Amino acid sequence: MIERMSALETISILAERNAEGAYITPGGIDSHVHLAQANSPTGDGWETGSRSAVAGGTTTVIAFASQKRSDPSLYPVLEEYHGLSRNLSFCDYGFHFILTNPTPEILREELPVLAAKEGITSVKLYMTYEPMQLSDRELLSIMLACRSLGMTTMIHAENSDMIALIIEGLEAHGNTAPYFHAIARPRIAEDEASYRAISLAELVDAPILIVHMSSETAMGHVRNAQTRLLPVHAETCPQYLFLLSEHLKPHSHDDFEGAKHVCSPPLRHDVKDLEALWQGIANGTFTVFSSDHAPSKYDHSGGKKLGLVDGVARFAKIPNGLPGIETRMALLFNQTEACQPPDKARLGLPKFVQLTATNAAKLYGLGGRKGSIAPGYDADLVIWHPAGKGEVNISQGMLHHGVDYTPFEGMHVRNWPRYTILRGELVWNKDQGGVVGKMGYGQYLRRGKGEVIMGKIGGVPRGMQEHERQYWL
Ligand code: DUC
Ligand code: ZN
Ligand code: ZN
């Protein structure tokens, strides 16, 4: 076993040996990952998901421990997820809770203990999906509880009733092919819910992060909030920067193959949608760039093919989500000045580092330990190939996840992580041995309080008087 080294010692050794001429960036932090989820039994568990992470340059994942509506307490949920991940991870990891049953006991008694003792300092809340969605009143109560604990509130923002109405209409008209998934969840549903989430957060002065954003208008709401110095953060994902809804259309050999690209929010229709989000990457609206790795096998009756009922496509029954934990880093690195001429580069390397590692570390309470290359930090590093080497055509065959396809099949990137180093250990060596780390080397991370990166706490909501809130808060 290599002796544990600091980041700087590791870099100087590698620079002497074999990293010459190559960029070194912090190990990726993928702060939005679904592993071992009960609602996607054909997706990745910890072994395959974390193996795929390190092969793509990610050294830390924050995955979801999901509360079911019928769970009255979070403690057994946490135990269950420790059981699903213990000794199985190739990378370091933490948990966010998905809260679906926010009882007063959970908010008052359990969250403080889970934050202080277990290091779980973030929750994800759904504004859509019948079994998981929360009312505005519930969202407010959770935001208040999280605010007082320094926890980050992540929100899936889509208007549930708009979507339900459209799905009903589509089904009544027999429009049930996979492509109609993109029609069922229009941008306006994301726009409205994002604006509402921001307004709720503004009322109670709570920092939030809106996850997996795909809409220009919704992103504009975030941008406006940030201009007013509200603590509103935003996340987007590779699929919303690179892929369009045309992928959901029938293919010549398989009418159902569009199911491979069913995710929510859905892929949008127009190149202009992609361009708008790239602007948000460049101008700092987005705080983090995550994979939202939420895979289901395609060719499996318990996976995407749940949406083929007696041979008939029913898009509303297709499990949502795409695999992407391994491709995230290379897809974005390929758009930087390291891989593109200056007039084609979408972002600079400092922005790449912020979006893929540093900001997630700060936002989710790993600052001082993860996400940067600096004295005292864990030696989590990605060493890329020297310019002109390391080109890859992304294909299912080269990936290490447990599912049977990649939505990014055939995309070309000019570089790929050559080495991934986790706490000084080489865990991925692209040219010699592939995944060389040991399963179980990945450690559970007890996280601290999240930092507010955008805006600040303590603003006065629009139209309210300076001290008005103190009469009721
Ligand atoms: N939300 C996620 O965060 N992931 C997959 C599907 C979804 O709706
Ligand atoms: Zn979501
Ligand atoms: Zn997700």
Q: DSSP of 315-348, one letter per residue?
A: GGGSPP-B--TTTHHHHHHTTBTTTS-TTT-SB-
- Tell me whether strands 417-422 and 425-429 are parallel, antiparallel or unpaired: antiparallel
The alpha carbon of 5 is separated from its chain's Cα centroid by a whole number of angstroms, namely 29
Does 434 score more than 70 pLDDT? yes
Give 410's pLDDT tier (boundaries 50, 70, 90): very high
Q: Residues 88-114: pLDDT tens digits?
A: 999 999 999 999 999 999 999 999 999
DSSP labels, 87-155 = TT-SSEEEEEEEPS---HHIIIIIHHHHHHHH---EEEEESSSTTTB--HHHHHHHHHHHHHHTPEEEE
Does 16 score more than 70 pLDDT? no
Closest-approaching ligand to the CA atom of 264: 1
**pLDDT of the residue at 252:** 77
Within 8 A by CB and 6+ apart from 294, the residues are: 34, 37, 40, 43, 263, 320, 321, 322, 323
Are 363 and 371 in contact by the 8 Å Cβ rule? The answer is: no
Q: And the tokens for 447? A: 């996280």
Average of per-residue pLDDT values in the chain: 96
Does 19 score more than 80 pLDDT? no
Q: And the tokens for 139? A: 């969202």
Are 236 and 180 in contact by the 8 Å Cβ rule? The answer is: no
**pLDDT of the residue at 37:** 97
Residue to mutate, 32, 34, 99, 214, ligand 1, most ligand atoms under 8 Å from C-beta: 34
DSSP labels, 7-20 = HHHHHHHHHHHT-T
Of 61, 65, 62, which is closest to residue 37 (Cα–Cα)?
65
Whole-angstrom distance, CA of residue 106 vs CA of residue 145: 10
How many other CB atoms sit within 10 Å of the CB of residue 185? Answer: 24
Residue to mutate, 263, 288, 291, 325, ligand 1, most ligand atoms under 8 Å from C-beta: 263
Residue to mutate, 97, 212, 403, ligand 1, most ligand atoms under 8 Å from C-beta: 212
Task: Judge if the beta carbon of residue 264 lies within 6 A of ligand 1.
Answer: yes
Measured in angstroms, how far is the CA atom of residue 123 from the centroid of ligand 2? 12
Whole-angstrom distance, CA of residue 464 vs CA of residue 199: 13
Of 149, 154, 223, which is closest to residue 191 (Cα–Cα)?
223
Residue to mutate, 125, 291, 292, ligand 1, most ligand atoms under 8 Å from C-beta: 292
Residues recorded for the chain: 473
- Tell me whether strands 28-33 and 58-66 are parallel, antiparallel or unpaired: parallel
SS3 annotation, 406-434: CCCCCCEECCCEEEEEECCEEEEECCCCE
Closest-approaching ligand to the CA atom of 290: 3
- Tell me whether strands 28-33 and 208-210 are parallel, antiparallel or unpaired: unpaired
Whole-angstrom distance, CA of residue 388 vs CA of residue 456: 43
Residue type, 239: Q
Measured in angstroms, how far is the CA atom of residue 129 from the centroid of ligand 2? 10
Quote the DSSP letter at residue 45.
-
Are 431 and 440 in contact by the 8 Å Cβ rule? The answer is: no
Does 2 score more than 60 pLDDT? no
**pLDDT of the residue at 360:** 98
Of 100, 107, 106, which is closest to residue 128 (Cα–Cα)?
100
Closest-approaching ligand to the CA atom of 39: 1
Whole-angstrom distance, CA of residue 253 vs CA of residue 113: 54
Measured in angstroms, how far is the CA atom of residue 265 from the centroid of ligand 2? 8
Domains in the chain (CATH in brackets) are: 7-471 (3.20.20.140)
Phi-psi region at 458: left, alpha or beta (left = phi > 0; alpha = psi -120 to 50): left
**pLDDT of the residue at 158:** 98
Report residue 322: phi and psi, to 5°: -130, 150
Task: Judge if the beta carbon of residue 296 lies within 6 A of ligand 1.
Answer: no
Measured in angstroms, how far is the CA atom of residue 136 from the centroid of ligand 3? 20
Task: Judge if the beta carbon of residue 292 lies within 6 A of ligand 1.
Answer: yes
Q: Residues 32-69: pLDDT tens digits?
A: 999 999 999 999 999 999 999 999 999 999 999 999 99
Nearest residue (by CA) to ligand 1, atom 5, is 321
Q: Would you call 428 exposed, middle or buried from its count of C-beta atoms within 10 A (0-12, 13-18, 19+)?
A: buried
